[in-house]
Amino acid sequence: MSSKRTQTEPTPTPAAYGYRMPAEWDEHAATWIAWPHHRADWPGKFEPIRWVFAEIVRNLARHERVELVVQDAAAEQRARRTLTRANADSGDIRFHHWPTDRIWLRDSGPIFLKQAPSPKRARSPLPAEKCSLLATTWKFNGWAKYPNYADDAKVAARAAHTAGCNAVQPMCNGRRVVLEGGSIDTNGAGTLLTTEECLLSEVQQRNPGMARADYERVFAEYVGCEQVIWLGSGIAGDDTHGHVDDISRFVAKDSVLTAVEPNAADANHTPLAENLARLKSARTAEGKRLQVIELPMPRPVIFEGRRLPASYANFYIANGVVLAPVFNDPNDRIALNTLAQLFPTREIAPIYSGDFIWGFGAMHCMTQQQPAE
């Protein structure tokens, strides 16, 4: 009998060979970010943004390598001057000259998987293995919203190649799957958070025809998450329509931090209360109930009559530091103290994001971790 795979036999997916998306708090080799250049993302507020980025680079580069994407050589020189003036040019920083449309690498960059050692696992059939990492390069379409995303759509493959690992394009029903990294969060042990508003809403169809069961199969096969916890809606002002990294985040294998709004008159009160209820009744892939920690929202941040997606949940966990957005709000201290209690071995670095959030994103939206091998 021939040992060749028949045409009807499914192609093995990453999970079949022990690949799984690690938790964000697992050790990183590097963090990927892109230097800001698209002025239209911060109309009227672009000038302060480079200094926010310099502060982010300064904090990250003290703990892990920073893979910094810039438009070209001239952009690198401008970025270097800013970093030098901000005392942020020390540490391990590598520049990459790749054009981008925007800087939100959480969404346009690759989602890296790590292969767990197991004597029972078959050897991966992927060619020319160079490391224990695998990059999933999802289709990026500008959040099904913006027309200028052609350069961003190339970033994931370029980062995977630079990281020296193979890349896989997640598929469902014969089509590449559209997914942004900010729409999911995982505990690194088979459980994933996402929202119905982002992936199932008819308002913003990333993948027309894909149902809940399709997404759950894709998450099991391509990121190694067998249990999906579906939350409802995201926060007001989020132009991605429901990214989970603005509302609920795993902070340990069995613990999740979730945003709450006690003001019943606020637009976020009801959807966040519903998400809180879902989390309290949810279970992990191992059948355990979650420890749910509540995180207050800042007061509404409004600019030019538009509410912005300001949230403390959009923090980023790096090797020795947690980058935490703050907004000159009384709840800043509560958020920072909460993170300090949850991550006692990491420095908590507050990053003022009152101007930055005008671009509709914060620390987590702009970063993408590359796990250590």
Q: What is the CATH number of the domain that holds 280?
A: 3.75.10.10
Tell me whether residue 225 is in a domain.
Answer: yes
* Domain range enclosing 119: 14-371
- 370 within 8 A of 30, measured Cβ to Cβ: yes
- Burial class for 123, CB neighbours closer than 10 Å (0-12, 13-18, 19+): exposed
Per-residue confidence band for 132, with pLDDT thresholds at 50, 70 and 90: confident
pLDDT of residue 343 exceeding 80: yes
Tell me whether residue 180 is in a domain.
Answer: yes
Poorest-pLDDT segment among 35-39, 201-205, 310-314, 363-367: 201-205
How much is the pLDDT for 205?
79
Domains: count for the chain = 1
Q: What average pLDDT does this structure show over 341-350? A: 98
pLDDT of residue 202 exceeding 90: no
Q: Which helix (H) or strand (E) holds 342?
A: helix 331-342
- Which is it for the CA torsion 187, 188, 189, 190, positive or negative? positive
Tell me whether residue 5 is in a domain.
Answer: no
94 Cβ neighbours under 8 A, 6+ residues apart: 65, 66, 67, 68
How much is the pLDDT for 12?
80
Tell me whether residue 6 is in a domain.
Answer: no
pLDDT of residue 119 exceeding 70: no
Q: What is the pTM of this model?
A: 0.94
Q: Which residue would you say has higher pLDDT here, 269 or 204? A: 269
Tell me whether residue 173 is in a domain.
Answer: yes
How much is the pLDDT for 129?
52
Per-residue confidence band for 8, with pLDDT thresholds at 50, 70 and 90: very low
Q: Compute how many other C-beta atoms are within 10 angstroms of the C-beta atom of residue 352.
A: 16
Tell me whether residue 357 is in a domain.
Answer: yes
Per-residue confidence band for 116, with pLDDT thresholds at 50, 70 and 90: confident
Tell me whether residue 1 is in a domain.
Answer: no
CA–CA separation, 248 and 288 (whole Å) = 18
Percent of the chain scored above 90 by pLDDT? 90
- Burial class for 209, CB neighbours closer than 10 Å (0-12, 13-18, 19+): exposed
Tell me whether residue 2 is in a domain.
Answer: no
Percent of the chain scored above 70 by pLDDT? 93
